[in-house]
């Protein structure tokens, strides 16, 4: 049933997919008894850890999806605009929205795309 769900429906987050995402993000997941601890870096650039229970695979994946999509957005921002922020407030807001839309499309749409769309290259 899992194969059919992944092929025809949206891919569901699991502990296994969280381990894969953590590896791609350069983070680690530690299994602590029946729970999981994700070790990474917070928004201030400091080492941090997050605890998840055995039934919180979706929440763990959500954290890791956010990290991966932010990385994609940062790469896009640097490649498109460079490291400087615009002085004009409206331009800064426009860029943030553009970057957010780009990272959502590139990460979430690809990460959760059903198998049939992957097969057809959509």
pLDDT of residue 4: 56
Number of domains in the chain: 1
pLDDT of residue 12: 76
Domain around 55: 2-120
Q: What is the pLDDT tens value at each position of the chain, 122 positions in all?
A: 455 555 555 667 899 999 999 999 999 999 988 899 999 998 898 999 999 999 999 999 999 999 999 999 999 999 999 999 999 999 999 999 999 999 988 887 777 666 666 666 66
Q: What are phi and psi of 29, to 5 degrees?
A: -115, 130
Q: Among 25, 22, 20, 26, which residue's Cα sits nearest to residue 37?
A: 22
């Amino acid at each position: 049933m899992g194969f059919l769900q992944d092929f025809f429906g949206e891919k569901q987050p699991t502990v296994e997919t969280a381990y894969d995402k953590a590896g791609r993000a350069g983070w680690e997941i530690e299994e602590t008894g029946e729970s999981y601890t994700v070790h990474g870096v917070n928004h201030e650039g400091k080492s941090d850890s997050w605890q998840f229970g055995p039934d919180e695979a979706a929440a763990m994946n959500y954290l890791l999806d956010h990290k991966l999509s932010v990385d994609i957005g940062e790469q896009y921002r640097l490649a498109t605009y460079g490291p400087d922020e615009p002085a004009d407030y409206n331009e800064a807001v426009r860029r943030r929205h553009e970057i957010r839309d780009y990272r959502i499309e590139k990460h979430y749409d690809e990460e959760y795309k059903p198998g049939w769309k992957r097969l057809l290259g959509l």
